[in-house]
Amino acid sequence: VRIWAIADLHLPGGQAKPMDVFGDHWRDHAAVIERSWRDQIAADDLVLLPGDISWAMHIQDAMADLAWIDALPGRKVMCKGNHDYWWSSKGKVRAVLPPSISVVDCDALLVDDVVLCGTRGWAVPGDRDFNKTTDLRIYERELNRLDRALAGAQVLAEGTRPIIVLLHFPPFRDKEPTEFARRIAAAGAQSCVYGHLHQADQWANATTGVVEGVHYYLTACDALQFTPIQLDRGVY
């Protein structure tokens, strides 16, 4: 199986939400993604979408965006991002998903012979904007959710299948592994895809490649020039 990833689609969610307010490179970004997606990805490929799927506030407003993703080639697996306000609970989301889309939400699933698991992640202590009053509880909850996802993945992997982690927030801070990265490595995952970073200086400082046996991929769509990236067959 060929595996691809692209995060931060930021589809409009039924709103007039032009993304070029964040720079001219975002102009008509969904059309650019669709062209590059169709050029590369086949029907039986697997595409990982680690968060910030839609600007929709309610699930019914995300349906058009989910249908847009469903119409593209491949089987898709998504995790939640910090802007996915429409994603209220995985049960409600799974109840309305189109046929080609699955989600991981502090749990794991098996696709072909690859185990996928994930959660959103969060800002970490030491981040400039980390507020102990508001962020610490969410940070600790997301670590617990990652633990549950990894535990489920290890059961499905049975010691032989590769584990790929979807995480929206980067699991490194200034090139140093956060607790998220430490737990991903300890669980024996092969790869981790993440997004969330949207500035050139952040991309330059982002951790990619193999660290402690895990291959990390920055997959924010603008970092990839709106073109899905293929995961290295040799490490998953």
- pLDDT given for residue 24 in this prediction: 65
- pLDDT given for residue 27 in this prediction: 67
Average per-residue pLDDT in the chain?
92
> Where is pLDDT greater, at 235 or 102?
102
The pLDDT tens digits for 36-65 are 999 999 999 999 999 999 989 999 999 999
The pLDDT tens digits for 110-141 are 999 999 999 999 999 988 889 999 999 999 99
The pLDDT tens digits for 3-31 are 999 999 999 876 666 655 566 676 678 88
CA distance 115 to 231: 14
| In the chain, % of residues over pLDDT 70 | 94
What Cα–Cα distance (Å) separates residue 53 from each residue in 78, 79, 204, 221? 8, 9, 23, 11
- pLDDT given for residue 200 in this prediction: 80
Identify the band that residue 202 occupies on the pLDDT scale cut at 50, 70 and 90. Answer: confident
Q: DSSP character for 54?
A: B
pTM, 2 dp: 0.93
Give me the mean pLDDT over the 158-165 stretch. 96
Instruction: Say whether pLDDT at 205 is over 60.
Output: yes
* Neighbouring C-beta atoms of residue 39, cutoff 10 Å: 10
Sheet strands side by side (includes 214-218): 107-111, 114-119, 163-167, 191-194, 214-218, 209-211
Q: DSSP character for 26?
A: G
- pLDDT given for residue 91 in this prediction: 92
Closest CA to 111 of 229, 3, 233: 3
- pLDDT given for residue 104 in this prediction: 97
- Flag the least confident range among 10-14, 76-80, 204-208: 10-14
| Angle at alpha carbon of residue 29, lines to 19 and 229, rounded to 5° | 125
Q: Enumerate residues 6+ apart whose C-beta is below 8 A from 178.
A: 124, 171, 172
| In the block, residue with structure tokens 């698991």 | 117
Closest CA to 207 of 188, 180, 226: 180
